[in-house]
Amino acid sequence: LGHHGKHIHAGEELEPAVSITRDGKDVGDIQVFNSLLSSDGNAVLAQEVATVFEPETDDEIAHYAQGGLQIPAGARQVLVRFRIVPNGGEEVVYDLPIQLE
């Protein structure tokens, strides 16, 4: 669980990213969604969007991304909520706190 970019600022777009493997191999056939919440998790700041699987390249490992989320101006910290829905399995949810610069 993570995001593209090194420096994340309020008022900009954040692109969450997730790499998922099973038995050491990339998993590209599940659904991954992300949304943006307040740091306490009580307020939705950006509605859930679907991500896209990006196969491995010479520059990057395989991962799910392209689900950009707009960070509100003035925010200091946010939570990215990842919702992962495997085929035939139970969905799982992970929250990743992001400190903004």
Neighbours of 81 (CB within 10 A): 20
pLDDT of 53 reads 97
Residue with tokens 């390249």, as numbered in its chain:
57
Least confident among 5-9, 18-22, 63-67, 69-73: 5-9
Q: What is the pLDDT of residues 31-85, one digit of tens each?
A: 999 999 999 999 999 999 999 999 999 999 999 999 999 999 999 999 999 999 9
**DSSP track, 49-84:** EE-EEE---SSS--EEE---EEPPTT-SEEEEEEEE
- The predicted model gives 4-19 an average pLDDT of 92
Q: What is the pTM of this model?
A: 0.91
pLDDT beyond 90 at 18: yes
**What is residue 88's predicted lDDT score, i.e. its pLDDT?**
85
Query: What single letter denotes the amino acid at residue 6?
Result: K
